[in-house]
Structure 1
Amino acid sequence: MSFSMTPDEFEAAVSDALDNVPDRLLAMMDNVAVFIEDRYEPLPDEDPHTSLLGLYDGVPLPERDDGWAAGSMPDRIIIFQEDTLAACSSREEVIAEVQITVVHEIAHHFGIDDETLHRLGWG
């Protein structure tokens, strides 16, 4: 199972997924940038075959204190193109998976954990 898509097509899928997030929710996000990278590179202590579709790298809003903003780099949401395409077999599946992944990573920014996201169907 794998689907081919150009980088521009994949970027459009990510952009569309972000456009589908309610404006009120996007307005509550603070200091977050969204990136697309080719593939997830497993950490040294991870299985070298680990594959992720997305990653939230930052400090969730509920964990930030008053001194957090001083010199802080933006949080990052990373969507991994090759890993996503490898997990999908059609354009529709890629679009759906990107939407789920974008919402999933935004939820982490708001402090929602994986267990809760899986229970809600956004795993």
Structure 2
Amino acid sequence: MIPEQFTRAMDNVVVLVEEKHPTESLYGLYHGVALTERTHQYSGALPDTITIYRQPILARATSYEGAREQVITTVIHEVAHHFGIDDDRLDELGWA
């Protein structure tokens, strides 16, 4: 699902699937230090996480294809955060 040129560039990040966020209705969440923000002090850090939340996606979807498309959009959105792209820019690009 993630193009190979991006997966090769990703560093110290894991992708997880959980049922739902404990306090918010989110499709996904990036937690970590974006590649563009890392310095020499980042060395030895635990992996960043991209979490995809299953229940909100399935609750919104009206079909298998709709759920699939939302997962793709959510993964791309969160991977973009790993690369340092903020929500405003993602909105401009149509990936908000």
TM-score range relative to shorter protein: over 0.9
Code of the aligned partner of 2:32? G
Residue 41 of structure 1, aligned match among 3, 16, 22: 22
**Structure with larger Rg:** 1
- % identical aligned pairs: 44
Using the TM superposition, give the Cα deviation of residue 105 of structure 1 relative to its aligned residue in structure 2, in angstroms: 0.2
Q: Does 1:96 align with 2:69?
A: yes
Q: Does 1:115 align with 2:88?
A: yes
TM-score (norm 1): 0.75
Gaps spanning 5+ residues in structure 2: where? none
Using the TM superposition, give the Cα deviation of residue 36 of structure 1 relative to its aligned residue in structure 2, in angstroms: 0.4
Superimposed CA distance per residue, residues 24-63 of structure 1 (whole angstroms, 9 cap, x where no aligned partner): 1110000010000000112xxxxxxx31000001100111
TM-score (norm 2): 0.95
How many matched pairs?
A: 96
Gaps spanning 5+ residues in structure 1: where? 1-19, 43-49
Q: Distance in 1 between matches of 2:57 and 2:15?
A: 16
Tell me what 1:24 maps to.
5
SS at match of 1:112: coil
Name segments (4+ residues, structure 1) moved above 4 Å. Answer: none
Code of the aligned partner of 1:24? Q
Using the TM superposition, give the Cα deviation of residue 84 of structure 1 relative to its aligned residue in structure 2, in angstroms: 0.7
> Could you say what the CA RMSD is over the residues aligned between the two structures, in angstroms?
0.8
